[in-house]
Structure 1
Amino acid sequence: MSQLLIETHVFKPKGLRLTEAKSNRGLPLVEGILATAEVKNGNGRYYSKDLWEREIDKYRVLVDEHRAMGELDHPESSVINLQNVSHNISDMWWDGDNVMGKIEILPTPNGNILKALVESGITVGVSSRGMGSLEQKGELMEVQDDFELLCWDFVSTPSNPDSFMHLVRENKEYKSQDKYKKVNGILGEILCAHGSCPMI
């Protein structure tokens, strides 16, 4: 029976600085590992490379049409809610068994939150969302051929150490307290703009 399958990784960008790397539409860019094939993941699930290759080939249509959107935090739903969209995948490729992605952070309310978190050095995870069935094979739960990839979301709780997002800054050092003050200030501004100012 087909079910919602969510796989979470920590997202490691490959040396791009959010403040310097821009897409051809002028949006901030990050890139890193989105998924890994042929391994048991943190949820005990196994995706074959053939399965990921098929789904990545299909997903490239959305990438080419600028419709490869994802949300900030992953809902327990197979529907992408446009009001929660934070980013768009602009490019995808293989590096060995790793699915790599280049991701534009959008100027939406959730995109602004994501951008503030990344700029402040907060670690976020990336989570694939798809529908499919599982079959127990020994210690593995193998994802079956009916799997359909829906999107990737950014989330707070990673389960795989292969996909971290860190923002590298050169010639500047930020104290942890300053980072959190900046994040709290930006989040406060966003909340106030939506009519619910936090009490300080």
Structure 2
Amino acid sequence: MADVARKRRPYAARVPMAERREQLLDATLRIIDRDGYDGVSIDAIAKEAGVTRPVVYGAFESLGPLLMALLERQQQRALMQLFGALPQDLGEGKPADLIRQAGPALHQMLLDDPVTWRAILQSATHAPEAVRERVEADREQVRHFVEQLVVGTVGRRADAEVLSHAVIAVLERFGQLVIADPERFTAERLTDAVAALLGRAPRRVT
């Protein structure tokens, strides 16, 4: 009988909408982690989640809102982890002290949640403009926090704004190295290298 022999179309069981959205966000994150933003599409998300396109559109009206929801979720997780790893106040200490205190915690933070951090640390060049703007806004929030830490450690002897940009660039690159090869780029190795560079804070030229 043809009706019996015909292969049935996969059917996505009904689940609560909140659970469905989380399922789709998880699927999207796996795609970004594996293929980058270039690999993200409604079709790819549906296939990864084992559902049909209408199921995806039933949870998110388009790819843009889905990516924004994912970014919101992952950035909240990441910022909580990051601010938990960074010291809140060192007083008038040395920049090297900041690195030695924060380095091991940051290293462990990356190893504890590599999927989140790989997605954040890779380029969002091919993501929708709204997503790129959100990534940059969150990056600036972290940079401002780092700037305040720099002021707390070196006072006004150096340009804290410029140094904070340098710190963020170093953290991002080191994060990529750690996730790619954690056994080679250990917390001790990276911490010692950065502490050596920042052992003496530059004095502002007047």
- Does TM-score exceed 0.5, indicating one fold? no
More helix by share: 2
> Under a length normalisation based on structure 2, what TM-score does the superposition of the two structures give?
0.27
Answer with 1 or 2: which has the greater Rg.
Answer: 2
Q: Give me the TM-score of the superposition, normalised by structure 1.
A: 0.28
Point out which structure has higher relative CO (alpha carbons under 8 A, 6+ apart): 1
More strand by share: 1
